[in-house]
Amino acid sequence: MKKPAVVAAVTLATFLLAVYGPRLLNPLLGVVPGQLGPVGCSLYMALWWLGLPMLALAGLYGFRRVLPELGWRASVGTGLLMGLVCTLPMLLGYLALFPVTELAGPVVAGNLVRGALWAGLGEETLFRGFLFGQLYRKVRFPWLLTILIESGIFATGHLYQSHDLASAAGVLAVTFSGGVWFGWLYKSWNNLWVPVFLHVFMNAWWMLFEVSDTALGNVWANVFRVLTIGLSVAFTLWYQRHRQPAPAALALA
């Protein structure tokens, strides 16, 4: 069993390298992430946001523990069902109120790979599965403090969507709240695929329709987003009331 201080140091160092390393190396290597195609983007994200955490976990616990430590051994079907059902208000509402995007098919496909698939899989794996999972389950940080830490970093990473002080405050508020919500879902279900698929489908519906250029959106965009969040909270509370409680030793394993 690794000492909590060692796990905390390795986790934080790996996380900071994954988040900020590309910003230092990309200019030197001439890499512009926004100009990468779907395949290049997938390789880029897999290297930084999946590969580094996996290597760190393999060094801490061995290769056999990598997927369980990331939360990838949980039920994919449960996460997929939660994502589809809970985001139905967004899909149906946007379909009724907003036009379908006018972007060309290849552009839409590239945007979905970057902004939906990898935003969901990459961000949830790095922020929730890796950072939150290690600090909460292994280092034994209080869960609320851990969620606030990773949500704060998660929110500041979306400031590029703002163009002035007011929009920056709005983007911070929305993405910080989203980080807290995703972290609570992961803890409540003990299943990373629940926040992964919710994140993927929410971003996908947002991008397939002319909803907004930023995470803020307008009134109707947020009405349906709140309905999605409300459904996920209701299902999660129901699940918590009806599931069999796990032994304390397993809950923190």
Residues 160 and 119: beta-carbon distance below 8 Å: no
Q: Which of 205, 223, 191, 181 is nearest to 82 (CA)?
A: 191
pLDDT in tens, the chain (253 residues): 678 999 999 999 999 999 888 888 888 888 888 788 888 889 999 999 999 999 999 999 999 999 999 999 999 999 999 999 999 999 999 999 999 998 888 888 888 999 999 999 999 999 999 999 999 989 998 888 888 787 777 666 655 554 556 655 666 667 777 788 898 999 999 999 999 999 999 999 999 998 876 556 678 888 999 999 999 999 999 999 987 665 443 344 4
Report the predicted TM-score, pTM, of the whole model to 2 decimal places: 0.86
The strand pairing partners of 209, in sequence order, are 100
Q: How many CB atoms lie within 10 A of CB 154?
A: 25
The runs of H, that is alpha helices, within 103-218 are 105-112, 118-123, 133, 143-156, 165-189, 193-208
What is the enclosing helix (H) or strand (E) of 97? helix 88-97
Residue 172, SS3 per DSSP: helix
Interatomic CA distance for residues 115 and 24, integer angstroms? 22
